Structures are given as C-alpha cells and as structure tokens.
Structure 1
C-alpha cells in the first residue's frame, strides 16, 4: 500500500468521488483505501431503516444528553483518535478540520453536565454523508448521536449514508453491505444532487 506524507481537504473530496478514503498510518503518513463490499445505512425516506433497540429508545426519550452540532469539531476528532490502534493521525485531523472550516465537515455531539460525553464526525458532500468515526465517554452517547445524524440525513433528503466498513454496532442498527457496482450507482446518484446539512 503506497504511503503519502501530505493530505489536503480537496484531495479528500476527490477521493470520495472516486470511492476511496484516506486512513492514517503509524509513521504519520496516509494511505488510500477502497472497501468492497461497502457498508452503508440506507436512508430511503419511505422506510424507517434504522433499527433502534428499545433500551436506546428509552435513553433518547429521557433526554439524558444535550445534542449539539459543530460546537467542538476538533475535540471530537481528537477524541476519536484516542485509542490503541488508530487511523486518525495529524494529517487526517488537519485535513478534516479544514473541511469543517469549509463547511463540509460536521460533528454531532452528546453533552452531559457541560461535558462532551460522545460524538461522531463525517463529511457532507452533495447528496452523501461519509461517516468517519465516533467515540463515547458515557454509555450510549455515540449511539444517540448516530440516531440524530440519521434523522438529519432523512429530513434533508440525503441519498447516501456511507459508513465505509461494517461493524457489529452499525449492523445492529440496520447497516448493510453492498457490492462495488451498486455502491458506485448510489454514489453517482448522490453526487448529482445538492443537499444541505441542516441541524434539526
């Protein structure tokens, strides 16, 4: 896998158009990856695709967390990088922080007692949202953010919610894997519309 020691925000968007995404390496470089099959959460507006467990619905109904949008993007991404094996290095942080400043990068955050309890970040580009990573300090905090994000994408008529690679957590919420041909068909549809990430 070829390594690169530079990454700017425009390269990230071009990569998304080509179906690839950057991941950081331990030596400070990045490499580009293409997931096949690709994991997505369907966001068709005529279906309630997200499978929300009863226990999580109860957490949401109790309003344990205050959900905010873009109040501390860089802290979210740095918390996401705080794990033993991480693909989020300084090149990734800098490029995605710049995407945030340009209006493409978004964080959905769960706050409790004035402290950041969990969150996620990703990129809204045309009719697609590319989910990148999430973290939690309090149980269920990141899961509540996923549910809020899904609601935002549905209400703003996004066509693609790309999570790149499947995990047991996302699978339990209704994520599916699709082949390369199907993915590029959905990506093409999403890139030919304009959508706006409006926090609701």
Structure 2
C-alpha cells in the first residue's frame, strides 16, 4: 500500500523533528537524506520500524525462536541472547504493556520464580528485577548477581548457542502438574437375615 502525498509529507516532518537535536553537520546530512528519500523508501523504512517494534509479540507467538525457560497465563520467560550476566532473563507479558503500572501480579510472580530458579541452579548471590521500556512495550529483566552489582547499563556478553542451551536446560522451570487421586468409595453391602414367610 503506497503512502499518499499527505502521509509522505507528515512522515518527513516527523523524521525532521526526530533529528532536530543532532549536531548541525549531522543534522544537515540527515535532513538531506530525508528529503531525497522516495515515497517507496519512506514506506519501506516505516514498515521495518513497525516490524522491529513488534519483536516481543513475535517472540510470544513463537515466530522468533527463543530459549523459553518458563511460562504462566500472563507472561513468558526467555533467556536474553546478549545477557548482562549468566542467566539474564526477559519476562515478556503475553499482552503488550505500555506502562509499568499495568504489569500483572502474575507476571511479577513469574519473575520471582525465575529469581528463585537462578539462585538454586546457578548459585547466584541475588538478582535485580528491573522493568524496561523497549521496542514500544514494557518488559521485565531478571539479572542474576554473582559478585558485583549490575544494572541495565552494565556491559553485555555474547554467549554461544551452546552456552545458552546449557543455561536454558539448567534454568527451565518444570510445570507443576497436580495429581488428583480418585478415591472410590467402597460400596457398603448390608446383609440382612433371610425371613421365611
């Protein structure tokens, strides 16, 4: 679907607004690039940006592979592929949340379960539970602490697929299955003396 002329003008205006705080030389270069873009190029850029903003929805729907370690009715827990520390986990609400106050208690409960699992399986000292607005929605970061304090600005690592798989297997929370035993009542048989008529 091609952008109308009005949409193209509005998009150029929005892009110009986003670059207004750049240094003058960068701002001039960026503005020239915006002005030279065809409507098709603008539309393509807009589509890419929208797809990028929906990355967590695609993970929740299983369209993007992830190392899922836990799930409940409201959220999933996946390993961060560029973790701050070993076992760094993202808790993603199943329904996109735009404000931290709208995160369900069930979602926070999943984060607490992940902290407990990290402590038991990875021998952590503690963990940071931090909310973050990323790609247009709020997620929760569970960052295991081993020997020093960490936050979202701490350096990230790039573990191999094998390392992520190993951590995933250690951290995976088993679903609790309630086993309900059926107890059949014994049928009582009443024995009466035979009466002779």
Which TM-score tier does this pair reach, normalised by the shorter chain? 0.3 to 0.5
- Structure number with the bigger relative contact order (C-alpha 8 A, sep ≥ 6) is 1
TM-score, L = length of structure 2: 0.34
TM-score, L = length of structure 1: 0.34
Q: Which has the larger radius of gyration?
A: 2
More helix by share: 2
More strand by share: 1
